[in-house]
Amino acid sequence: MNKSELIEAIAKEADLSKAAAGAFLDAMIAAVTKTVAKGDTVTLVGFGTFKSSKRAARTGRNPATGKEIKIAATTVARFTAGAGFKTAVAGKKAAKK
């Protein structure tokens, strides 16, 4: 599914116009990106958590030459799937509490 197909699905599910659904999706992506870039966490209960994580410097290998190279430390985005999302992907019914 690409972005335009996702916008169509949101518009249909939420009974919105495609323009409104597109504006919503763009705003959500911008909000999540801005929050995670600041180092904060975005948690959507049942879906998952977006956060930033520091990756330490390490030594790697150039696959073409086999020569060792230094890989600098960096900050990366992480997504951890929530329980509801995991069960939906696995095709199981959600357990009742």
* Domain ranges across the chain: 1-38, 39-91
- Per-residue pLDDT of 47-65, as tens digits, reads 999 999 999 999 999 999 9
Question: Residue 7 corresponds to which tokens in the numbers above?
Answer: 């916008």
Superfamily of domain covering 39-91: IHF-like DNA-binding proteins (4.10.520.10)
Of 48, 86, 79, 49, nearest to 95 by C-alpha is 86
Q: What is the pLDDT of residue 84?
A: 92
Q: What is the pLDDT of residue 57?
A: 96
Q: What is the pLDDT of residue 8?
A: 96
Q: What is the pLDDT of residue 96?
A: 60
Q: Mark the ranges of the chain whose per-residue pLDDT is less than 50.
A: none
